Every structure is written in structure tokens, then in C-alpha cells.
């Protein structure tokens, strides 16, 4: 068997390359980038209602958005979301390759067909790129492939003229790729007479220009840019998706380029050229994805997802493997420590970046209020958590509703006893796929209050919540924590957050004022960070802080403070010497963390 025959046999199974590509995409999104999918799912609320469908079919590209949202709801489970993305990107590759083959491309140029899906894959690494845009691009590719399947010239003209307005309504501005491909194909094939081609071109171009302007006359409530672009490629409407336009142009012209290469370049060693293309494809894909994948955001999203799903142990396991450094990750870690009754004991075992890693300041966006709301919710600030959930949902730039926010609004209203309003949110969630069962079960609590009282979380938070109204102030977090604790002195978490605020702000005066309250909480052992702060303050006025100290300090802490003080006071560059053995102490944070 000759080499060329062997190559031909291999390339007849080009589906293997597609399968390998799809498998890599799946592994990427299911194992390495799963929490980006969870992040996207929580910021939409797909409803199985005719009203929800109607609001999408009423504008160009809305059907693509609707289908994109339908797909995004399955990101609730990242493995399913990864499968769906792998299917869509492999479908895009197969469409491009099928069009190229229909034009007469030689089989050894198949790696070129992977360029558009790889580029779109890199775009999807940005959490603001939405699935609806990919649906729109796939729709255009399907229409182009169908056009090539029509043999009769007259039928092709009829198909194109009917498809342009249909595709405009389905995919929005991406419809322009179809007339662009058709005119290029007809011009290069010269199958139409010059006069007929001129008339057809003029009519097709005119139709493509008139459609958005004509639509504007009937849909005056939409800005013209929205009617022109159509499908929502990017979460922020003000961002024009030029990168997607590049992918679209490649879908149109790459098949013609591959055909041209097939006719001009007929290498003697096609297997070698195939290997070179695959090498460039793999290395280029790796380089591109390494630049576009944001693993720092993935870390924050992972911590937030585990906090959302109450997987406190998973948060601590991750932090033990590699301590988080971003403020929002540290916020989730501190919440997990508090929920596991370990905040005072182990807080300084991890990197702390001040009060911003405990209770970040409110920012008018949709990410920080969502994470911050988790903390206030578990602290018993039910009204604050409710406000933050509403603020986060209203701040979504693409005007979606948030499944996570709606779920939180239902919970806070249940805890506050606003059962009618809670029922409104729960009945909304009953129209979803993943939240339906939870909403149906929870709806029973609006009719039977004992279900709330007996609930392990809602019952506790109802007891811990603030009973008196007070003005929420970003600059007075300690005062608010103290107020919540004094209203219910069983709220140990509020006390520990109050003490943590003092320690992180290095406000040892107030720490010492609040510390005596610790006796009322019946700690079996005084938390380690409290012991370290107490012995430090005692040492400021005593030569030997380990002697006659009136607080219950362990022998281990006494021994460590002596060694720490000896290195700190007698050695040059003490930070370097203390880092390995004492970076888990409050003393190290006090002296060397800003």
C-alpha cells in the first residue's frame, strides 16, 4: 500500500480528529474551567413559559438568545455544560469542513477547519461571552451548508432570498454572512450569467441593508444597534463583538482559501504537510487558550460556588492545597472557617488581606454583592442579604434575572415571614428545570410555619436575624456586628466576625474591650488567634508576657511567642526568618501584613 493510499485511508476517518477535538473541549470545561459554567448559569433564569419565549421571538436574534439560555441552564452541572459546548464547537468544525469539502478541498487541509471553533473556544473563556452567540454562528453555518446542497441555480436563488430574512430573525446581524458567502461562491463559480448575477447581487445587497432599517420602523423600542447585531454575544450590550465577526468571516472565506490551497499546492508528501498543520494547530491553540483562560477568576468562582452550595469542607481542602490570595476567595474561605467553627482558631493559617477579605465593601455590580450577600445571610443580616440579592440581579448588564438571586429572595422572605412574597419567587422557580423540585418542596413552608422553625438553616437564621431596624453603614461594620450579637448572644458567628474585624484592622484596643464577652459563649479552648493577640497586648506592659498572664494561654503559644520575640528583636531582616515557622500567627500578620 502506497503512502498516499495509507494517508487517504486515515483521512477518511477524519471524524477521529473531530472526536479528539470534542473530547479535549469537554475535558477543558469539565475539569479545568467548570466554575465559569456555574458562574454563567446563576445569572440567568430560564423559564418554561410562553411569556418567556415571547419576549425573545419578538426581536432579531432573539431565537438564538433563547436557545443559548436554554443551553446555559444545563451549566448547573458542569459536566453536562461541557458536553453541550463540545457538541456545539465540534458541530461548527464539521460545518466548516463540510462546506470546504463541497467546494473541492483536498482532505489533507482538514486542520484549517478547526481554526474557527478554536477561536470561538478562546472567546468562551471570557465569562461574558454567552452561548446565544455560538448558536447564531452555528445557524449561519447550517444555512450556508444547506445552500450548497441545492443543485438547481433557480432554487438556490429562491432559497437564498427566503433564507436571508429568516436567518436575520433567527440569528440577527450574523445573517450577513450568508449573502457574503453566496455572492462570493456565485462570483467564483461563474455559473450565473453576468446580467443575472448583477441583478441578483443588487437585490440581495439591498435586502440585507433594508431589513434592519425596516425592522426599526416596527420595533421602535429597541435601539438600532440591537436590531443590527441581534443575538447577544456579550453580556455587556455596549460591547460590539468584533472578535465574533472575525470568526464569522473565517467561516465564510476559509473554505475558499482551503480550496485555493488545494488547487495551487499539491505536495508530494501530504502526510508531512498534514503533520505540520496539526503541529501548528495544537501549539497555536495551546498558546491562545493559555492567554485567554483566566485561572484567577476560576479560583474565585470555585470558592463562590462551594459557598453557594454550602460545601465548607471543600473550601478548606482547596485552601489547604493552595492558600487563596484574591480578596473574594479569602472572603469565601473566612465564611467557611466560621461555618466550621474554626475562624478564631485558623484564620491566620491562611493569607489575610485585611477587612476586605472578611466583609468587602459594597460595589454596584453583580458579582461582589452576590458573594457578600452570602456572608451577611449566614451572619443573620437577613434584610441586608435580601437587598444585596436584589441589587446584584438589577445590576446584570444584559437585563436577565438571576436564578441564584431569586432563590435567595425566596429564602429571606421565608425567614422574615413574608410568605406571600416568598411564594411569588418560589412559583417563579417552579417554572425552571433545575430549581422546580426545591421550589415545590419549599412552597410547603409558606403554609406550615413549623417547617421553617425546624429547618436546620432557616430556623437558626430566624433566631439570629436582627429584630430591630438600623441604618446599614459600610464604615461601621463592627457596630452592626455588635448590635446583631447583643440582640442574640447565641450568634457566635457574629461575635467571631466582630473579633476578626478588630484583629484584621489591628485594632487591639477594641479587641480587648470585646474579649470578655467570650466567656458567655463557653469556648472549650480560647481560639488560637485570640490567645496570640492577648499575649501580645500583655507583653507590651510586661517584660515576660508568659508569666502571671491572667488569660488562659496554652504552653505552645507561650513558647512560640518567646521564640518569635527573640528573632523579631535581635535579628536583621526578621520577616524572612519568621516566614516559614510563624506566618500562621497573628503576630506575623500584625508586623508584616499591610
In a domain, 203, yes or no: yes
Residue 199 lies in a domain: yes
Q: What crossing angle do the helices spanning 403-416 and 419-429 adopt, rounded to 10°?
A: 150
Give the phi and the psi of residue 220 in degrees, each rounded to 5. Answer: -70, -20
The predicted structure's pLDDT at residue 192: 86
User: What pLDDT sits at residue 66?
Assistant: 97
- Are residues 417 and 284 part of one domain? no
pLDDT at 475 over 80: no
Q: What is the pLDDT of residue 8?
A: 55
- At residue 477, the pLDDT reads 87
In this model, does residue 9 exceed pLDDT 70? no
Q: How far apart are CA 364 and CA 48, in angstroms?
A: 30
Q: Which domain holds residue 448?
A: 296-464
Do 132 and 14 share a domain, yes or no? yes
| Same domain, residue pair 448 and 565 | no
Judge if 276 and 301 occupy the same domain: no
| Judgement on whether residues 118 and 224 belong to the same structural domain of the protein | yes
pLDDT at 408 over 70: yes
Q: What percent of the chain is predicted at pLDDT more than 90? A: 77
Q: How confident is the model at residue 211 (pLDDT cuts 50, 70, 90)?
A: very high
- Range with lowest mean pLDDT among 32-41, 116-125, 263-272, 392-401: 263-272
The CATH number of the domain holding residue 351 is 1.25.40
* Model pLDDT for residues 417-456, shown as the tens digit of each residue: 999 999 999 999 999 999 999 999 999 999 998 999 999 9
Specify the pLDDT at position 7. Answer: 53
Q: 523, 454, 511, 521: which is closest to 486 by C-alpha?
A: 521
Give me the residues paired with residue 234 across strands. 129
Residue 551, pLDDT > 60, answer yes
CA distance 99 to 113: 10
Write down which residue in 239, 272, 292 finishes a domain.
292
130 class by beta-carbon count within 10 Å (0-12 exposed, 13-18 middle, 19+ buried): buried
Averaged pLDDT, 291-307: 96
Answer yes or no: is pLDDT of 371 > 90: yes
User: What pLDDT score does 266 carry?
Assistant: 72
One-character DSSP codes across 126-149: STTB-HHHHHHHHHHHHHHHHHHH
Closest CA to 400 of 121, 126, 132: 132
Q: Are residues 274 and 398 in the same domain?
A: no
pLDDT at residue 273 above 60? yes
Q: What is the pLDDT of residue 5?
A: 59
* 213 and 359 together in one domain: no
Q: Say yes or no: 153 and 280 in one domain.
A: yes
Q: What is the pLDDT of residue 271?
A: 80
Query: For residue 555, is it within any domain?
Result: yes
* pLDDT score of 2 more than 60: no
Which pLDDT belongs to residue 467? 72
461 has pLDDT over 80:
yes
DSSP-derived 3-state class of residue 239? coil
Residue among 429, 364, 422, 361 at smallest CA distance from 391: 364
pLDDT at 38: 97
Are 385 and 287 in the same domain?
no
Of the listed ranges 11-15, 152-156, 323-327, 419-423, the least confidently predicted one is 11-15
pLDDT at res. 265: 77
Q: Are residues 231 and 333 in the same domain?
A: no
Q: How far apart are CA 582 and CA 176, in angstroms?
A: 64
240 and 314 housed in the same domain? no
State yes or no: pLDDT of 399 exceeds 70.
yes
CA distance 587 to 593: 10
For all residues of the chain together, what is the average pLDDT?
Answer: 92
Task: Using the 3D structure, point to which of 248, 275, 292 is the last residue of a domain.
Answer: 292
Query: How much of the chain exceeds pLDDT 70, in percent?
Result: 96
Question: Which distant-in-sequence residues (6+ apart) come within 8 Å of 162 by Cβ?
Answer: none
Q: How far apart (Å, rounded) are the C-alpha atoms in residues 517 and 496?
A: 11
Q: Is residue 178 part of a domain?
A: yes
Task: Specify the range with the lowest mean pLDDT, choosing from 20-29, 232-241, 471-480.
Answer: 471-480
Distances (CA, A) of 137 to 112, 175, 183, 257: 17, 9, 19, 19
> Are 255 and 313 part of one and the same domain?
no
Is residue 376 pLDDT above 60, yes or no? yes
- Dist CA 514 CA 505 (whole Å): 14
pLDDT recorded at residue 30: 97
pLDDT at 362 (0 to 100)? 86
pLDDT at position 258 is 93
Nearest CA-CA partner of 81 in 47, 42, 48, 110: 42
**pLDDT at 4 (0 to 100):** 56
| pLDDT of res. 3 | 53
Contact predicate 514/502, CB 8 Å:
yes
Cα 348 to Cα 507: distance, rounded to the nearest angstrom: 16
Q: Are 163 and 180 in contact (CB under 8 A)?
A: no
Is 226 within a domain?
Answer: yes
Give a yes or no: residue 320 inside a domain: yes
Residue 432 resides in a domain:
yes
Domain count, the chain: 3
Q: Which of 464, 486, 508 is the last residue of a domain?
A: 464
133-170: pLDDT as tens digits: 999 999 999 999 999 999 898 999 999 999 999 999 99
Q: DSSP assignment of 268-317, as one string?
A: S-HHHHHHHHHHHHHHHHHHHHHHH--HHHHHHHHHHHHHHTT-HHHHHH
Q: What is the CA radius of gyration of the chain?
A: 31
Average pLDDT over residues 332-349: 96
State residue 411's pLDDT score. Answer: 97
In a domain, 345, yes or no: yes
Amino acid at each position: 500500500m502506497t503512502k498516499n493510499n495509507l494517508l487517504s485511508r486515515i483521512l477518511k476517518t477524519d471524524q477521529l480528529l473531530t472526536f479528539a477535538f470534542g473530547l479535549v473541549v469537554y475535558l477543558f470545561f469539565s475539569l479545568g474551567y467548570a466554575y465559569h459554567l456555574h458562574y454563567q448559569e446563576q445569572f440567568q433564569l430560564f423559564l418554561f413559559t410562553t411569556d418567556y419565549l415571547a419576549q425573545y421571538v419578538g426581536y432579531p436574534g432573539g431565537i438564538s438568545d433563547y436557545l443559548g439560555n436554554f443551553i446555559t441552564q444545563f451549566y448547573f452541572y458542569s459536566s453536562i455544560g461541557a458536553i453541550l459546548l463540545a457538541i456545539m464547537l465540534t458541530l461548527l468544525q464539521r460545518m466548516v469542513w463540510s462546506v470546504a469539502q463541497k467546494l473541492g478541498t483536498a482532505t489533507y487541509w482538514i486542520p484549517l477547519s478547526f481554526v474557527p471553533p478554536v477561536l470561538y473556544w478562546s472567546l468562551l473563556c471570557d465569562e461574558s461571552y454567552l452561548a446565544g452567540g455560538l448558536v447564531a454562528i452555528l445557524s449561519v453555518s447550517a444555512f450556508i451548508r444547506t445552500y450548497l446542497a441545492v443543485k438547481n441555480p433557480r432554487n438556490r436563488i429562491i432559497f437564498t432570498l427566503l433564507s436571508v430574512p429568516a436567518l436575520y430573525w433567527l440569528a440577527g446581524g450574523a445573517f450577513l454572512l450568508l449573502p457574503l458567502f453566496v455572492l462570493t461562491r456565485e462570483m467564483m463559480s461563474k455559473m450565473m450569467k453576468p446580467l443575472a448575477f448583477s441583478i441578483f447581487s443588487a437585490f440581495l445587497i439591498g435586502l440585507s441593508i433594508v431589513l434592519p432599517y425596516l425592522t426599526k420602523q416596527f420595533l421602535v423600542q429597541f435601539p438600532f444597534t440591537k436590531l443590527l447585531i441581534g443575538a447577544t454575544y456579550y453580556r455587556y450590550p455596549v460591547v460590539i463583538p468584533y472578535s465574533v465577526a472575525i470568526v464569522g468571516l473565517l467561516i465564510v472565506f476559509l473554505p475558499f482559501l482551503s480550496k485555493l490551497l488545494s488547487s495551487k499546492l499539491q505536495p508530494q508528501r501530504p502526510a508531512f504537510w498534514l503533520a505540520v498543520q496539526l503541529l501548528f494547530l495544537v501549539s497555536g491553540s495551546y498558546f491562545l487558550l493559555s492567554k485567554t483562560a483566566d485561572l484567577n477568576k476560576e479560583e474565585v468562582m470555585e470558592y463562590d460556588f462551594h459557598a453557594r452550595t454550602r460545601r465548607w469542607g471543600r473550601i478548606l481542602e482547596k485552601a489547604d492545597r493552595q492558600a487563596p490570595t484574591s480578596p473574594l476567595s479569602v472572603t469565601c474561605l473566612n465564611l467557611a472557617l466560621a461555618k466550621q467553627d474554626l475562624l478564631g482558631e485558623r484564620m491566620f493559617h491562611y493569607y489575610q488581606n485585611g477587612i476586605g477579605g472578611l466583609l468587602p465593601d459594597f460595589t454596584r455590580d453583580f458579582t461582589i454583592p452576590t458573594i457578600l450577600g452570602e456572608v451577611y445571610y449566614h451572619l443573620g443580616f437577613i434584610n441586608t442579604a435580601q437587598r444585596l440579592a436584589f441589587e446584584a440581579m438589577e445590576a446584570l448588564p444584559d437585563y436577565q434575572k438571576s436564578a441564584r438571586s431569586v432563590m435567595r429572595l425566596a429564602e429571606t422572605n421565608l425567614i422574615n415571614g413574608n410568605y406571600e412574597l416568598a411564594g411569588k419567587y418560589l412559583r417563579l422557580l417552579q417554572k425552571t428545570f433545575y430549581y422546580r423540585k426545591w421550589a415545590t418542596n419549599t412552597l410547603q413552608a409558606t403554609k406550615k410555619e413549623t417547617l421553617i422553625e425546624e429547618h436546620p438553616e432557616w430556623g437558626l437564621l430566624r433566631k439570629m436575624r436582627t429584630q430591630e431596624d438600623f441604618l446599614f453603614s459600610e464604615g461601621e461594620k463592627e457596630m452592626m456586628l455588635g448590635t446583631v450579637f447583643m440582640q442574640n448572644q447565641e450568634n457566635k458567628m457574629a461575635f467571631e466576625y466582630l473579633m476578626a474585624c478588630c484583629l484584621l484592622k489591628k485594632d487591639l484596643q477594641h479587641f480587648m474591650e470585646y474579649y470578655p464577652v467570650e466567656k458567655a459563649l463557653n469556648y472549650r479552648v480560647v481560639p488560637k488567634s485570640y490567645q496570640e493577640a492577648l499575649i501580645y497586648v500583655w507583653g507590651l506592659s510586661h517584660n515576660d508576657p508568659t508569666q502571671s498572664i491572667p488569660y488562659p494561654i496554652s504552653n505552645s503559644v507561650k513558647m512560640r511567642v518567646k521564640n518569635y520575640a527573640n528573632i523579631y528583636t535581635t535579628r536583621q531582616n526578621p520577616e524572612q526568618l519568621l516566614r516559614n515557622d510563624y506566618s500562621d500567627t497573628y503576630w506575623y500578620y500584625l508586623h508584616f501584613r499591610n
